[in-house]
Amino acid sequence: MQRIAQFLFTVWLVLTLNFLLPRLMPGNPLADLDNPQGSPVPLSQEARARILAYYGLDRPLAAQYQDYV
């Protein structure tokens, strides 16, 4: 029973770290698309909002995590 609990804890820990690490890194990948040097076509605010909504990045972190798990 203890090994199963360890396994489940390890899976949860790996999933949680995999979810959190990209979000805790400095910078914003979407901001790179807005950068005129990084993108041939700058994004409008409407396009940016649609991308955030499509990937669920406009939702609270807890809701994103729930969808991830």
- Sketch the domain layout of the chain as residue ranges: 2-68
The residue that leads in pLDDT, 52 or 6, is: 6
pLDDT digits (tens, 9 = 90+) for 3-35: 999 999 999 999 999 999 988 888 777 776 666
The answer to whether 64 touches 57, Cβ cutoff 8 Å, is: yes
CA 9-13-19 angle, to 5 degrees, is 145
pTM above 0.75, yes or no: no
Mention every residue, 6+ apart, whose C-beta is less than 8 A from residue 30: 43, 48, 51, 52, 57
Cα 55 from Cα 53, distance rounded (Å): 5
Average pLDDT, the chain: 86
pLDDT at 63: 94
**What pLDDT is attached to residue 36?**
61
